Structure formats: structure tokens, C-alpha cells
Structure 1
């Protein structure tokens, strides 16, 4: 993404751009997206996140802050013209306000990166949705969310006792990785 041009349809509103910067930080750096990592066979990557439950307030604010900015596509994962070395709108794609391509918060959060995120019905602090924004001094609320979904996914994918055993090892593994 280092060559990705957020301003492909003119200057993006600073508040809107902040959401994309935060999204990139979450995607690139969060240790809590493990339950949603999927293997893919694409030339530019081998794995991706899929259907991460994004807290409804974070999605709503992202949409609100981007409404006055412009874009030319509803799916930013693919279809760009990269001939100049950075993304440009494909031939025939017109620049419109975000709300043209993303009429609802769900359309933005779920569509912009090919369903990397899923709009959650849960609120920030519920322990059931990933928060894009939080104060690290107050701890990382996404740790609880990742544990919850890892447990739920492992319980559904393997015998219950094994799933619980593996989940009980997560804190020890985190301590080991941090030391």
C-alpha cells in the first residue's frame, strides 16, 4: 500500500484520510486479527482478513467523515490503473462523492476492501467487535474480541475439549511471544 494514492480524485478530507491511515495500521500491525486471516492465492499476497466485525460506531464515523471526499470505485482492492506506479482511476470511472459509491456505512466498511470488514451490530466496548480506534494507554480492547472469536471458531471447528485447551494456551503463547 505504500504507493497507494488516497487522493486519486482530488484532496481527501483530512478526517477521512485518518480513517484510512488507521485502517492500514490495524491491518498491518494488529496481533488481534488472527481469527479472520484467510489463505489466498494472489500474486500480491498469500493471506488476507475476511469479515472482521468492525464496531458500528467506527464504521459510522468513517462513513460520516468521508461523505464529502471523492472516489471513483466501490472496491479498492482491485481494478486500479497502476501504469504510473500508483493507483489511478480506471478508464471510464468517474469521481463522485463517497456516498455515491458507498450509500450506507455498511457499503463503505464491507465493500471498500472486498469484505475485509463486516459491519457489526455490536458497539465499542462490547468485547464482540474490533475497534479501529482506541487509547492504547487504556489497554487494547481488541484482545478480548480476538479471544472470544478464536474460542467460538475453534469450538465449532474441533471437538469442544481441544478447542478449550488451545484457547487456554493463548495467554501463555502471547507472554512467550512478548518476552
Structure 2
């Protein structure tokens, strides 16, 4: 009897550990622009903090690199006119988090890979609301974009995102009234407002998010690029070679100027001409005043 109980206990323990491992294993949300599991070295046009370990493919980040944000997939961010740059930045943070972050799997339903109730930091939600307070949005009374936006394609195949019948454009202040209502409603049940600073997710701070996931699952070490790693390497190389090239050109110009100055002759003066052979033949050496006269040349002088 004891042996059977021990075996059953061991099997239940293995099953429980396996279930936990499967639930906590790094994976990506199910989407048109996302991988099944995170990997590195994608050439991302935006969201470069996730280059070392991303859930997204490059194609979606080309849309997220536009400022202000205009369209992501079927979602038209210009539903009620262009967003301000400040509001656009907040939305880009959120899209990068959702599309690219490898650190959202603790809030994922394993069977469907659907995310739910991601705890967004209150500080981020409040900043999001503040920066977008005067921007316009097309949303029903509760501000849920999932029900207030009419996503699809027009006859030409272009994505559309018009307000549904009875829904009008209003600013964020009228629609939400606070950062808490904004985070709790704009994407349905995807996010929730959290004041727990040690366990909330901040879309603008991937390093913090990595630490939060480590506290949940210490066996998984996340990988987030530091600023110096994901800064555009090509741009840095171009700047370095540009500076070196400029220094070389300046040095060459100075050397050329000094050489020209050294070889330049004073104006109005020229080197004396070399005498001709005829002139050389007529030259005679004149005796100096101290040289005694030759007696033979003086013999014709009459003596007294």
C-alpha cells in the first residue's frame, strides 16, 4: 500500500512540475506578426530594445517606426485624425510590448496563447492618459476599441477603421477620464491598471519588465538589449568613418597649402639669368689695387 501511494505521489509531482513548466515556458502570443517562441537577431525597424530576443517579425516594426503612428495591421490610428507625437509614442510602446516582448507569457492562456489582464504600471497608464488627453479617438461609451472600431478592408483592399454606427470621435478626456479607466478599457481585458510597482509591466521600461518576469520564474533568464547594443551599428560606423575622413581631408589641405607657400616666389623678382658662352669668353679678371705692376709691361716708359 505504501509503495502504491509513493508511486502515485511521484507521478502527481512529475505531472504538476510538467504542467508548471509548460505554463511558464517562454512563448509568444498567437498573432499574424508573431513567432511561436522568442528568438534574437531580428533586424527590427522599431522596438529595437527587443532585437536580442523578440516575439515579432521585422515586417510589423516597419509600421511601428512611423511617427506619428498611422496603421498597425488592420488598425488605423488616424481614425479621428493624426495623433500627437507624445500620444503616438505611448501607443508605440504598447504595440512594441504586445508584438515583440518575450516577457508576457506569464499572463498567457497556454492552450490558446491569448493574453489577458497584463498588469500595466499605474505610472505608465497615467502618463498615457495625460499625453493623449486632447487627442481624438473613435470608441463607444466604455472606450473599448475592440467593439468601437470597425476593422476590415474596403473595396480596394485597403484597411479601414471607421467608427461604427452611433459611435463618434471624442477626446481621451471625454472618453476615459483617467489613466485607470483608459488601461482597463481600451483593449478590453488585455490590460489592467496596477499600483504594484514591483510586479507591474511598464511598456516603456523593458529592463524592469525583465526583472518582474525573473521574480515570477527564476529559471528563465530574459534577454533585453542594452542601449549601446541595439543602437544602429551602421549609423555609428558611418559617423566614425565620416569624422576620420574629415580629419584626413583637413590634414591634406593644410599640407598642400604649406607646400604651395614654400614654393611660391616673391612678386617682381626673378633668378639671375645664366651667362652665355660668348659672355663668358669676354670676361677678364681685373687686378686689384694692391697687385704690383708687371715690369715688362712698363719698359716703354721714358726715363729722365
TM-score by length of 2: 0.44
1:154 is aligned to none
- 1:17 and 2:67 aligned: no
What are the ranges of 5 or more consecutive residues in structure 1 without an aligned counterpart?
A: 41-45, 151-166
Higher alpha-carbon Rg? 2
Mapped contact 2:148–2:167 kept (Cα < 8 A): no
Structure 1 distance, partners of 2:181, 2:106, is 23
Aligned residues: 144
Cα deviation digits, residues 22-60 of structure 1 (max 9, x gap): 1000001111111111258xxxxx533211111111110
Mapped contact 2:115–2:190 kept (Cα < 8 A): yes
Structure 1 distance, partners of 2:173, 2:109, is 29
1:158 is aligned to none
2:177 is aligned to 103
Cα deviation digits, residues 114-147 of structure 1 (max 9, x gap): 1211111133xxx31111112x6xxx11112123
Structure 1 distance, partners of 2:82, 2:200, is 31
Is the partner of 2:114 in helix, strand or coil? Answer: strand
The one of 107, 112, 118 aligned to 2:186: 112
Q: How does 1:22-171 map to 2 (within 5 A)?
A: 22-38=93-109, 46-73=112-139, 74-81=143-150, 82-84=152-154, 85-123=159-197, 127-134=198-205, 140-148=207-215, 150=216, 167-171=217-221
Q: In terms of mean alpha carbon deviation, does 103-112 or 1-10 score higher?
A: 1-10
Structure 2 distance, partners of 1:145, 1:86, is 37
Mapped contact 2:125–2:179 kept (Cα < 8 A): yes
Structure 2 distance, partners of 1:145, 1:52, is 12
Alpha-carbon RMSD across the aligned residues, in angstroms, is: 2.1
Extract structure 1 runs of 4+ deviating beyond 6 A: none
What are the ranges of 5 or more consecutive residues in structure 2 without an aligned counterpart?
A: 1-71, 224-304
Mapped contact 2:122–2:194 kept (Cα < 8 A): yes
TM-score by length of 1: 0.72
* Deviation of 1:17 (Å): 1.2
Mapped contact 1:48–1:116 kept (Cα < 8 A): no
Q: In terms of mean alpha carbon deviation, does 83-92 or 48-57 score higher?
A: 83-92
Structure 2 distance, partners of 1:168, 1:54, is 21
Mapped contact 1:38–1:47 kept (Cα < 8 A): yes
Structure 1 distance, partners of 2:181, 2:187, is 10
* Deviation of 1:168 (Å): 4.9
Structure 1 distance, partners of 2:99, 2:110, is 16
Is the partner of 1:77 in helix, strand or coil? Answer: helix
Structure 2 distance, partners of 1:105, 1:97, is 13
Question: Are residues 79 and 97 of structure 1, via their aligned partners in 2, closer, same or farther at CA, if it must alter by over 3 Å?
Answer: closer
